Chains A and B, each alone.
Chain A
C-alpha cells in the first residue's frame, strides 16, 4: 500500500532531511542578514551625518571636520572621463568580436582570452600598470614632445585611463551580449537590401543595442566609482583646496578619502562619523548605478 511506503520512512532519516533544509535556509538567511546588517550599520551610524553641508563643503581641519564635496566631485569627474575613454574602445572591441571575427579564429580567441584575463587581474596591478604605462611612459613622452611638464605626473586623466582599462572587460561583455541579442534575421534583412556590413552595424545593430551599451557603461561606472587600489598611484590626492580645473590635475576620491579618514588622520576616532557617512554615500552611489543597470537590463531582456 502506498500509504505504508509514505508513513514508514524512519524518523532519523526524516530528521536528517529536516536539518539539511534548515542548514541551507540558515545559510541563505545569513547572506541576507549580512547585507542588512552591513547596510543597517552604515545607515544607523552614518545616516545622520549626511547633510547638505556634508555633501557640499570641503573638508576642514586635516579632514577631521567639514564635508566631502571635492571627493564626490572628483569621483564623478573620474568616472565620466573613464566612460568617455573606455566605452568607445570597449564597444569597438565588441563590434569586432560579434560582427567581424570568425568565432573560432586564432585572433578572436586571443582577444577573448585577453578580455577574460583582464577581468581577473587584481586592481592594484592595474594601478602599477597605470604608473608605468600612462604616467611614466605616455605622460613623460607627451611632456617631452610638447615641452610641457603637466602630463608626467599622476592626474585625473591617467587615473581615468587606468580605470578605463580596468573596466574594459565589463563593457566588452555587456555590449557584446547586447549585440548578440540583435536577431540574425535583422542583419540579413539589412544586407539583403544592399547594405554593407558597416551600414548594417550603424543602422541596425547599434540602435538595437543602445540599452546594452548604456548598461555596460553604468556597470563600468559602478565598478570604477568604488575602485581605490587602482588609482592610489596615478593621481588621487588626500586633500585639495579646490576642484581640479584640468584633467592633468590631481583629484580627491570617495573611496580613497575613506581610506585617508580611517588610517591617515591625526585623530581617527574623531573622524568616525565622517567615515560612516562617506561610506554610506559611496555605497548608495554604487548601489544606485547597479540598480539602474539591472533595471535597464531586465527591460532589454523582455
Chain B
C-alpha cells in the first residue's frame, strides 16, 4: 500500500444489505488522499454499491441497511449526527450516464452553489470559468454558456457533469463508470482529466474497463460477489496479483 499518503476514506467491516440480500461483506480498506483509487470487478460484484455508500446515495433506496464503519476524514458517515446533505456537498459524484439538468450550461454548474447561498454574478462567473477550465471544457463552451446543456455531445455532457461536481468544491470525487457511455476519444479526454484532477481531489473510480483502471489509477481494488478480494497498488494488481480470482479476472478467464 501507498503508505506515504494520508488516509481519506476508511471502511471497517462494512456490510451492506438490500432488504434481506447482503450486497457487501466485511469490506475493510483505506483510500489515500489525492490519489486515484479504482474498483474493478464483474457486474453485480458490489463495487458501485460500495462507491454509493461513501456519500450515502444508497439511502435513497427503500429497505437498505448498513453495518460496520465508513469513515471519511475521521468521521463515520453513518453516524446519527451526520448531516447527509452537508456530507454530499463535500463529496462530488459523477454518474455513469451524463445527466445534465435541462438548464443552461451556466445554470448546471452553479446549481449546487446557489442552493444555500446567494452569490454575486461575478463570483458565479468566476466559479463557472474555473470549473469548466478544470474539466477541460472551457474552450469548447465559453461562447455558449447560456445555451441548453442538452445541446452538448455525450463526452462534453460528461465533462460538464464533472465540472458541476467540482464547482461545489468537494474534497472527494466519486466516479461511477464515468466513461462507459462514451466513445474512445471522449474517454481519453475524461481520463486525462482524472489524471489532472487527482492533484486536488481524492478520486474513487468504479470501472468495467480494466485497461482504464490500469491507465489512470494508483491503486486498485478487485470486488467479487460482494467481497473485496484484493486491494493493492495498481501495478501490483495487474502484474503480480496475490489471489487466484484476481488473476483469473484480469487475464479474462471469467467475468
A residues whose Cβ falls under 8 Å from a Cβ of B = 102-103, 183, 185-196, 199, 203-204, 207-208
Contact = CB atoms under 8 A, between A and B. Distances in A.
B127 to A, nearest CB: 13
B1 interface: no
Interface stretch (B92-100, B135-143, B200-208): B92-100
B161 A193 contact: no
Contacts of A207: 102
B85 A195 contact: yes
B55 interface: yes
A190 B88 contact: no
Interface residues of B, number: 23
Given A103-B62, A203-B111, A192 B99 contact: no
B161 A196 contact: no
B86 A186 contact: no
B170 to A, nearest CB: 9
B55 A192 contact: yes
A204 B60 CA distance: 16
A207 B107 CA distance: 14
Nearest to B90: A194
Given A185-B97, A208-B102, A190 B57 contact: no
A183 B99 contact: yes
Interface of B: 55, 57, 60, 62, 85-86, 88-89, 91-93, 95, 97, 99, 101-102, 111-112, 115, 161, 164-165, 168
Contact of B101 (A186, A192, A199): A186
Contact of A199 (B55, B102, B115, B164): B115
A191 B115 CA distance: 11
Interface of A is mostly: helix
A186 B164 CA distance: 13
Contacts of A102: 62
Contacts of A192: 55, 57, 88, 91-93, 95, 165
15 contacts: A186-B101, A189-B99, A190-B101, A190-B111, A192-B95, A193-B92, A193-B164, A193-B168, A194-B88, A194-B112, A194-B168, A199-B115, A204-B101, A207-B102, A208-B102
Contact of B86 (A103, A183, A191, A194): A194
Given A186-B99, A196-B85, A191 B57 contact: yes
B115 A194 contact: yes
B159 to A, nearest CB: 15
B57 A188 contact: yes
B38 to A, nearest CB: 20
Contacts of B88: 191-194
Contacts of B93: 192
B118 to A, nearest CB: 14
